[in-house]
Amino acid sequence: MGTAGHIDHGKTTLIRKLTGIDCDTHKEEKQRGITIYLGFSHYKLSNGNQLGIVDVPGHADFVNTMIAGASGMDMVMLVIAADAGIMPQTKEHLQIMTILGIQKGFIVLTKTDLVDNEYLELVEEEIGSLVENTFLAGTPMIRFSAVTETGLPEIKKAIEDIELSCEPRSAEGLFRLYVDRLFNKAGFGNIVTGTVISGQIHKNSKVFLLPGSEQIRIRRMERHGAETNELSAGDRGSINLTGINKDALHRGMLITDRILQSTQMVDAVLNLFPEGLRLKLWSQCLLLHGTSQYEVRIHLLDCNELQQGGEAIVQIHFSTPIFASFGDRFVIRNSSSDLTLGGGEIFDTRPLHHKRRTKNLLQGLQKVVTGDIEELIAAEVRKNLLPLTGKELIFLFGIQQDEFLQIVSSRLPEDIVALNTENETYLVAKNRYERNKRRVLKYIQVFHKQNPLEETGKTLEELAGLFGKERNDTLIGFLNAMLTDLAEQKKISKQNNSWVLFGHSVVINDVLRDQISFVENFLLDSGMKTPLMSELMPASESKGIDQELLIQILKLLIFRGKAYRIDDNYLHSSIVDKMRIILLKALLKKKEGLTVSEFRDLIDGNRKLCLLLLSRYDGEGVTLRKGDYRMITEKGRSFLRENDNA
């Protein structure tokens, strides 16, 4: 619970009457008689629970402090002095609390001992119209005097009633506590305090202080002044940290139970207060989030100018990194920090940079802003080239596992595919998924083609290479799910440790290996004669190679660069390559060219072999046929230059 209201209206006095604790503990506060820093107290409820209380300053100069305090509140007491009535910070605090999403509270009219009944009624009427259409509409308005203590029982009752109606914050998910105070206590060391926004930690939990990546240790924790072993959402707590330098600690830092990615850009819905300023297309402002303030530039996305009282979708650029979560509220003030302009809610903590405000972009954003959680999830998935995991999305949007599974099973837009594995769900845009499947199939297909006698296909690791150099668990997990999907569709199957096209099978054993080298040797041994298929076939058969296998082996030899196919004949590549050089060198000397029989004499081969070789070289373009003669081409010359080392 927190206080709110104009300076000197009796907030701190009320808390003292309620709890016996004086929140104005600083010397400076005593001297000036006003609250300057956030004050902390607690109140024991009749059910035994402790209610943490934050007392805020009312002074116009300390609105930023008030915002930091209000950021963790679930319930508020708006304090208004009966003799003064509604004052500027009464209104400003009310607007800030509204924008921060506080939903419970009531009103206390203090200093009622100073005014008469008639005046009281007048002030009450004014307050009634002030809170109309706000979260305080219709809530109790309690007359109180710190002098006579009238109204104190009614205030206690209102607190009890509202506390009962407050939804407890979920202790699940990310732990977040933004540091609002830090001090050093002799014998203990560094102590930080704050309100737990979400999650839960135990004394032995791993915690981090952000920005920073080092794990820090908890020595001691307190909740409402008493030692505790755990802190959960909604608690006000203090944490005694060890192993950390005082200089490394700042107000506004975030204590969390995992390392988060910071951002310097968010997409948000922004509302401007009816009083205040208009915003241009680009505006420089101060933004208050958690217990920190940031210099930001706000880019209006769905309008060119935002009027007072208006609402816009904006992209906010931070001058320093911020740790924010989906759904976080913030307040904006003008650069000189004397005017609160409005505030809003973050709906994307890792947006793309919207440089151009296209119609498509706007339609997409509007859908996200006005749509349900599944639209937000879909938008996040569409934005990412790689799939997102259920864990990431649950974390990003702070939703419960059950709700996520429910969305995945029945509420996702049609262009999003969800792949379920035993312990993870992967979400990816459908068109990207289909494209990825086609790529994988094609890749395996080409591999088979080039390796006709390979029984295996492509491994998971090799397939992952298709999706970029970086390997990570998500990619591997997703790929596995996709391959399983392809296997279920009977497009691929698993062979040893690799994936092959469905139906693919080859068995290479020692026998086959011998058979392959037999065929190769046959080609090689033919020398300057043409290796005749009519001889190769029966010879192969005696080695147990049937015609089909022979073709496969010959294909394999071609793939390995050991053989060439010319017409329906197969020549060993070493012969083809050697004769090419001999021929080209001879042609270089003999300008008029060579006939077939001259070539035959040159290499001492049979006529058929010579014809085959010449047709091969013609095909390659290194020779040219002119009547009965072969001449060397320009390509032949350069081939010779590059390949003749002799």
Ligand X SMILES: Nc1nc2c(ncn2[C@@H]2O[C@H](COP(=O)(O)OP(=O)(O)OP(=O)(O)O)[C@@H](O)[C@H]2O)c(=O)[nH]1
Determine which residue in the list 110, 198, 340, 530 makes contact with ligand X, applying CB under 6 A. 110
Q: Could you tell me which stretch among 5-13, 354-362, 450-458, 492-500 binds ligand X (CB under 6 A)?
A: 5-13
Q: What is the 3-state secondary structure (H, E, C) of 296-327?
A: EEEEECCCCCECCCCEEEEEEEEEEEECCCCC
12 lies in the site for Mg ion, by CB under 5 A: yes
CA-wise closest residue to 73 among 155, 161, 180: 180
Residues across the chain: 646
Residue 611, judged by CB atoms within 10 A of its CB (0-12, 13-18, 19+), counts as: middle
Residues 6 or more apart whose Cβ sits within 8 Å of residue 53: 1, 2, 3, 15, 18, 19, 40, 41, 42, 43, 236
What gap in Å lies between CA 457 and CA 556, rounded to an integer?
15
Q: How far is the CB of 101 from ligand X (least distance, A)?
A: 23
Nearer to Mg ion, 26 or 185 (CB): 26
64 lies in the site for Mg ion, by CB under 5 A: no
What gap in Å lies between CA 5 and CA 34, rounded to an integer?
13
Nearer to Mg ion, 10 or 342 (CB): 10
Q: Could you tell me which stretch among 57-65, 118-126, 336-344, 523-531 binds ligand X (CB under 6 A)?
A: 57-65
Q: How far is the CB of 327 from ligand X (least distance, A)?
A: 30
9 lies in the site for ligand X, by CB under 6 A: yes
Nearer to ligand X, 113 or 345 (CB): 113
Nearer to Mg ion, 38 or 218 (CB): 38
Question: Site for ligand X (CB under 6 A): how many residues?
Answer: 19
Nearer to ligand X, 12 or 573 (CB): 12
H or E stretch covering 587: helix 573-589
Q: Could you tell me which stretch among 52-60, 188-196, 380-388, 595-603 binds ligand X (CB under 6 A)?
A: 52-60
CA-wise closest residue to 75 among 48, 49, 106, 116: 106
Give 346's Cβ-side CA count (13 Å radius): 29
Determine which residue in the list 35, 90, 340, 526 makes contact with Mg ion, applying CB under 5 A. 35
90 lies in the site for ligand X, by CB under 6 A: no
Q: How far is the CB of 22 from ligand X (least distance, A)?
A: 10
Q: How far is the CB of 41 from ligand X (least distance, A)?
A: 12
Determine which residue in the list 95, 145, 325, 573 makes contact with ligand X, applying CB under 6 A. 145
Determine which residue in the list 34, 174, 602, 624 makes contact with ligand X, applying CB under 6 A. 34
What gap in Å lies between CA 358 and CA 446, rounded to an integer?
41
H or E stretch covering 282: strand 282-289
For residues 241 and 219, the answer to whether their CB atoms sit within 8 Å is: yes
Q: Could you tell me which stretch among 8-16, 174-182, 538-546, 611-619 binds Mg ion (CB under 5 A)?
A: 8-16
Task: Identify how many contiguous H helices and E strands the chain contains and give both numbers.
Answer: 20, 32
For residues 35 and 55, the answer to whether their CB atoms sit within 8 Å is: yes
Nearer to ligand X, 146 or 475 (CB): 146
For residues 332 and 270, the answer to whether their CB atoms sit within 8 Å is: yes
64 lies in the site for ligand X, by CB under 6 A: no
113 lies in the site for ligand X, by CB under 6 A: yes
Which amino acid is present at 28? E
Q: Could you tell me which stretch among 141-149, 191-199, 584-592, 615-623 binds ligand X (CB under 6 A)?
A: 141-149
CB count in 10 Å sphere of residue 614 = 19
57 lies in the site for ligand X, by CB under 6 A: yes
What gap in Å lies between CA 280 and CA 511, rounded to an integer?
80
CA distances from 534 to 146, 519, 569, 644 (A): 117, 13, 10, 35
Q: How far is the CB of 250 from ligand X (least distance, A)?
A: 24
Q: How far is the CB of 118 from ligand X (least distance, A)?
A: 18
CA distances from 603 to 576, 607, 613, 623 (A): 11, 10, 11, 16
Nearer to ligand X, 91 or 430 (CB): 91
Q: Could you tell me which stretch among 2-10, 288-296, 497-505, 525-533 binds ligand X (CB under 6 A)?
A: 2-10
What gap in Å lies between CA 397 and CA 221, rounded to an integer?
28
Which residue is nearest to ligand X, using beta carbons?
A: 58
For 181: left if phi > 0, alpha if psi spans -120 to 50, otherwise beta; the answer is beta
Nearer to ligand X, 17 or 625 (CB): 17
The binder of 111, among ligand X, Mg ion, none, by C-beta within 5 to 8 A per type, is ligand X
CB count in 10 Å sphere of residue 2 = 27
What gap in Å lies between CA 293 and CA 65, rounded to an integer?
10
Q: How far is the CB of 130 from ligand X (least distance, A)?
A: 17
Question: Site for Mg ion (CB under 5 A): how many residues?
Answer: 3
11 lies in the site for Mg ion, by CB under 5 A: yes
Q: Which residue has the tokens 């990615």?
A: 261
The binder of 593, among Mg ion, ligand X, none, by C-beta within 5 to 8 A per type, is none
The binder of 113, among ligand X, Mg ion, none, by C-beta within 5 to 8 A per type, is ligand X
Nearer to Mg ion, 12 or 530 (CB): 12
H or E stretch covering 2: strand 2-4
What gap in Å lies between CA 8 and CA 83, rounded to an integer?
11
Quick note: the x/- pattern for ligand X over 496-535, rule CB under 6 A, is: ----------------------------------------
89 lies in the site for Mg ion, by CB under 5 A: no
DSSP secondary structure of 359-425:
HHHHHHHHHHHHS-HHHHHHHHHHH-SS-EEHHHHHHHHT--HHHHHHHHHHT--TTEEEEE-SS-E
9 lies in the site for Mg ion, by CB under 5 A: no
Q: Where are the alpha helices (DSSP H) in 147-302?
A: 152-165
111 lies in the site for ligand X, by CB under 6 A: yes
Nearer to ligand X, 2 or 457 (CB): 2
Nearer to ligand X, 155 or 418 (CB): 155
3 lies in the site for Mg ion, by CB under 5 A: no
Quick note: the x/- pattern for ligand X over 222-261, rule CB under 6 A, is: ----------------------------------------
Nearer to ligand X, 146 or 487 (CB): 146
**Which parts of this chain interact with ligand X (CB under 6 A)?**
7-13, 34-35, 57-59, 110-111, 113-114, 145-147
**Which parts of this chain interact with Mg ion (CB under 5 A)?**
11-12, 35
